[in-house]
Homo-oligomer: A and B are copies of this chain.
C-alpha cells in the first residue's frame, strides 16, 4: 500500500526552475510547450497491515507539515497499490 504526495508551487509563486525548462525547450524547437511548472513527488510505502482510513489523517499531516511548505506550496495526496 502506497501514498503518493505531489507538491507544487502555488500558481501565484514564480517557478524559476519551470521557466528555465520552458525556455530550454523553446530553444530546442519544442514550440508545442507553452509553459512548464516543476514540482516534487513523494512515494510513501506504508507499513504492512496499515489501515488506510486510520493512516489518512497522518499522511495529510505529514504532507502539510513536513513534505510541503503551505505558505508557497500546494499538495495533493493519492493512495494506490
Interface of A toward B, CB cutoff 8 Å? 6-8, 18, 21, 24-25, 28, 30-48, 50, 55, 58, 62, 66-67
Contact = CB atoms under 8 A, between A and B. Distances in A.
Given A43-B37, A43-B39, A24 B55 contact: no
- Report how many copies the assembly holds: 2
Give 8 nearest A-B pairs by CB, closest first. A35-B45, A39-B41, A41-B41, A37-B43, A34-B47, A34-B45, A32-B55, A32-B50
11 contacts: A7-B41, A8-B43, A18-B43, A21-B66, A24-B66, A30-B58, A30-B62, A34-B47, A35-B44, A38-B40, A38-B42
Given A36-B44, A38-B41, 8 more contacts: A30-B62, A31-B47, A33-B62, A37-B42, A38-B43, A39-B41, A40-B40, A40-B41
